[in-house]
Amino acid sequence: MVLMKQATAAAVDGNALSMWRTGNLRLSNEIATVDKWGPLPPYAVLVNKNMSAETRDAVKSALLKMNEQEGWKEKLMRYSVVGFKEITPDIFQEEEEIKEYVQGMGLRDHVYY
């Protein structure tokens, strides 16, 4: 929509945009990224409930350190994944502060596709 001048701006998933840019190098220069949020923990990693706590902790530790290992770092970057972060309540503190600040504000013109 932005490329076809039917929308001035759009919010898109960062992974989807990155993969699109990889496959559309010529068109990629036609759009600009104004801002990014992150690193975010948007996707939960799920394991079988019967997995031992020891194995769960080992998987968690491996994921959190994966981007520090050269071989894995390169593999992750192919998909624009810079690493994994543990989900903790404080990771969303800034968003909560912004939410409180803009409460009651609004936009006059809404466009949904």
**Structural domain for 8, as ranges:** 1-36
Instruction: For residue 79, give the nearest of 34, 32, 14 by alpha carbon.
Output: 14
Note whether 69 and 99 are same-domain residues: yes
Note whether 57 and 111 are same-domain residues: yes
Summarize pLDDT for 13-68 with one digit per residue, the tens: 877 888 888 888 888 888 887 777 665 556 778 889 999 999 999 999 999 999 99
The model's pTM is: 0.54
How many independent structural domains does the chain possess? 2
Amino acid 112: pLDDT: 61
Q: How far is residue 113 from each of residues 11, 80, 94, measured CA to CA in Å?
A: 12, 26, 28
Amino acid 60: pLDDT: 92
73: which 2 tokens? 């770092």
Note whether 105 and 57 are same-domain residues: yes
Note whether 75 and 107 are same-domain residues: yes
